[in-house]
Structure 1
Amino acid sequence: MSSVLEEALAFTLGNEGGYVNHPADPGGATNFGIIQKNLAKWNADHPELGFPASVRDLTLDQARTIYRSEYWRWDAIGDPAIAIKLFDIGVNCGTGTSIRLLQKAINLLVNPPIDADGKLGPATLGAANAQPPEALMQAICQAQKDHYQSLVASDPSQAVFLKGWLNRAARIPEVVHGI
């Protein structure tokens, strides 16, 4: 496994923590960032692995297995810090959202814009890798912040999470090992 993925796991687990079942969280019970619905889907797809039925009983190693398989999409991103940030957004918001936020971030930096379709194709990857990493990181952080604020604007019950989300949006991974 790549050292970038290991660093992404460490970064994201630092944001996620352990078991939580907040009544305002539409995702419901969560452990290590894995929601109950995603664990149930995983178990239906991989019954041979014998993962627990409840996220409450999920181990850290089991969460890592799910992350590696279901959330890591970033090998073609040239800058490791960008890859880690996108992985973290994908865990928090879904991988489709992380791709759309990357596309929105790119569109803050380029003209003409690319299509923000949530697909990680060659146009998105090429545009992402062509940007100066520091500028792209700042644009991703801004797109992430805007996303969280729009979530709260459309559903005020989510305001309880906004401070933590904005802190998460501001966090920039420090890459230790590189690629």
Structure 2
Amino acid sequence: MSSVLDEALAFTLRNEGGYVNHPADPGGATNFGIIQKNLTKWNAAHPELGFPASVRDLSLDQAKAIYRAEYWRWDAIANPGIAIKLFDIGVNCGTGTSIRLLQKAINLLVKPPIDADGKLGPGTLGAANTQAPEALMQALCQVQRDHYQSLVASEPAKSVFLKGWLNRAAHIPEVHHGV
């Protein structure tokens, strides 16, 4: 496991916390950021691992195993802070959304724009890795904030989450030396 992934897990788990089952959360019951639907899907694919049926009983190590296998897509991102931010967005919004938000952030910085198709291909990776990391991080924070505001605009019941989401969007990973 890469040390960038270790830092990404620590960053995201500070945002996610433990077991929550908020009635307004369309994801339903969540533990360490893993929703019940994703645990059920994981268990169907990996019955030999013996993970619990209920997300409430998921251990931290089990959650980390799911994150390593299902959410980490960022080894080709040159800047560790950007990779950590993208991992966190993917955990909160889905990995496809994190890729689309990366593409939108890049498009705030480059002309002509790249295709925001939700695919992490060589064009997206090349464009991401040639941006100044500070500028790309600020653009990521902006498009993440815009994404959350758009969710609340289309589904006002989610406004209960907006303050936490906006705090999450503003949170920039501190990368420790040696990563």
In which range does the TM-score fall when normalised by the shorter chain?
over 0.9
After TM superposition, the score normalised by the length of structure 1 is 0.99
Letter matched to residue 22 of structure 1: H
After TM superposition, the score normalised by the length of structure 2 is 0.99
Higher relative contact order (Cα pairs below 8 Å, separated by 6+ residues):
1
Residue aligning to 2:104: 104
Segments of structure 1 that go 5 or more residues without pairing to the other structure are: none
Distance 2:178 2:67 in 1: 20
4+ aligned runs moved over 4 Å, structure 1: none
Q: CA deviation at 1:177?
A: 3.2
Distance 2:42 2:48 in 1: 11
Letter matched to residue 86 of structure 1: L
Residue aligning to 1:70: 70
Write the mapping of 1:77-116 to structure 2, written as runs, cut at 5 A: 77-116=77-116
Distance 1:94 1:177 in 2: 28
Letter matched to residue 82 of structure 1: I
Residue aligning to 1:3: 3
How far does the alpha carbon of each residue in 1:66-91 deviate from its partner, in whole angstroms, 9 at most, with x for none? 00000000000000000000000000
SS at match of 2:74: coil
Residue aligning to 1:60: 60
Q: CA deviation at 1:178?
A: 4.4
> What count of residue pairs does the alignment treat as equivalent?
179
Residue aligning to 1:16: 16
SS at match of 1:113: coil
Distance 1:138 1:178 in 2: 23
Write the mapping of 1:17-166 to structure 2, written as runs, cut at 5 A: 17-166=17-166
Contact map agreement 1:3 1:177 (CA 8 A) in 2: no
Q: 1:160 to 1:125 in 2, by over 3 A?
A: same
Distance 1:16 1:9 in 2: 10
Residue aligning to 2:177: 177
Distance 1:16 1:67 in 2: 13
Distance 1:33 1:123 in 2: 30
